[in-house]
Structure 1
Amino acid sequence: MFHRTRDAIEAHLTVVFTALGVARFMQDASGQSLKKIITTLRPLREFTGIIGDQENTFAPAIPPAARKILNALPTAQSR
């Protein structure tokens, strides 16, 4: 990224270091590599559509490999 102002540079660095922290946390919690986590979780997408006058949200089907990673991550209630 080509940032020229101090605020933009600091914001970019904040996002980068936060992403690194989240990645490390997920690797430690799941015991899997970041590449494996990303390739397993990337296909999970939620879809929101409007049918008639009603807005519906459809959750993705979660395969066993993705469920294993998600179950390894602590929830807010478990902390």
Structure 2
Amino acid sequence: MLSEHYELIESLMTNFAIAILFLLIGLAIQDVLKKGNVPPIGRFAVWLVLFLGMVGFLAKGIIQFFIERSLG
């Protein structure tokens, strides 16, 4: 049973690990921004870049899902 779903489990765990990594990066950035007295425009720029990176990762996963589904 496990060997039949090994690839799916591996893919899910990889995506989960990357999501946790994004969370940890976000927490580290929040801490640095608070301690560095960064102006609001700088904070906005940093969070925008982090958000766009996360959206790109999610879009890649969704596109990959639909392509793999259509190929078989």
The TM-score, its normalising length taken from structure 1, stands at 0.37
The TM-score, its normalising length taken from structure 2, stands at 0.40
Bigger relative contact order, structure 1 or 2 (CA pairs below 8 A, ≥6 apart): 2
Please identify which structure carries the higher strand content. Answer: 1
